[in-house]
Amino acid sequence: MGTVVILGVFVADTAYRAARMPVMGETIMGTAFALGPGGKGSNQAVACARLGVDTHFISNLGQDDFAKLALDTWAQAGVVPHVRQIAESYTGAAHIFIEEASGDNAIIVAPGAAALISPSDVEAQADLIQGADVFVTQLEQPMDAAVRALEIARAAGVTTVLNPAPAAELPEGMLALCDYVTPNETECEALTEIAVTDEKQAEQACAALMTKGVRTPIITMGQQGAYLAGHGLVPAVKAGPVVETTGAGDAFNGAFAAALADGQSAVDAVRYGCATAGISVTRPGTAPSMPTRDEVLAHL
Ligand code: RIB
């Protein structure tokens, strides 16, 4: 088993289930509420660690109850934290609306102390990043920190994965630091201006990402599966009725990185990611929905 290092954000997910979203100025009644650990980077780290891989997470927290939730979550999953705790700030939170009928979501993230992650925070972890087999980041923390971490990883020959979520404009040259980039359809459209709904469009979007310097783009396509450049569509693996899709992308990315660190080929790693995501959507919550290695292998 290799080592995965992930840079990203922890937030407390506050999830509200309701039939629909309220419109501005309206109050509606929900059907359920849950508080749990979230944040894309943290979810990916939990997914990776639960699959049995040595997983390290770089982030910032406040010094409050949500920070305790983060540290407890990582201790339980086996994630090794490398965090700066900032007393003057707070641990972030996310407002998650879950549509009752479909399990689909709409999210607002307030990253709190994680919005203060700086290039110098990342440089302080250079040895850790350089020693990884796989480095992963997303776009919930400041962009300059993500770029600096990718530069350090790339210079050391570490396999780099960028999950460009949430969608954002990327600085010139950032994609050229990435071995793998894993947008969903919306994020892919933001990067390429190609709307992806089928395999042909996915192939075109992958070609566009490769001209920007990505070695191997992978487009996650929800219920269809994931499109791996140079291979084609790896179908989704349904594991039961969908309860909540929040965190499915994180399950995919954490498992994909775990499999790469384990020496699997890109296509096998994508299959592993799809199977992990397929299980996660049958359970409520984000980090708490991540399956174990045995569960994923049984499902595959
Ligand atoms: O990808 C899902 C995650 O996005 C949630 O856990 C939420 O915190 C947001 O960061």
What residue segments make up the domains of the chain, in order of their start? 3-8+39-59+114-299
Q: Atom of ligand 1 at shortest distance to CA of 249?
A: 1
25 CB neighbour count, 10 Å cutoff = 5
Determine if ligand 1 sits within 6 Å of the CB of residue 11: yes
pTM over 0.75: yes
Residue nearest to atom 9 of ligand 1 (CA): 39
Cα–Cα distance measured from residue 17 to residue 124, given in angstroms and rounded to the nearest whole number: 40
Rounded to the nearest 10 degrees, the angle between the axes of helix 199-211 and helix 185-192 is 50
Q: Atom of ligand 1 at shortest distance to CA of 165?
A: 1
Cα–Cα distance measured from residue 37 to residue 58, given in angstroms and rounded to the nearest whole number: 16
- Alpha carbon 12 to chain centroid distance? 15
CA of 49 to the centre of ligand 1 (A): 17
pLDDT 10s per residue in the chain (300 long)?
A: 799 999 999 999 999 999 999 999 999 999 999 999 999 999 999 999 999 999 999 999 999 999 999 999 999 999 999 999 999 999 999 999 999 998 888 999 999 999 999 999 999 999 999 999 999 999 999 999 999 999 999 999 999 999 999 999 999 999 999 999 999 999 999 999 999 999 999 999 999 999 999 999 999 999 999 999 999 999 998 999 998 899 999 999 999 999 999 999 999 999 999 999 999 999 999 999 999 999 999 998
Pick the CATH number of 3-8+39-59+114-299 from 3.10.129.10, 3.50.50.60, 3.80.10.10, 3.40.1190.20: 3.40.1190.20
**3-class DSSP state for residue 29?**
coil
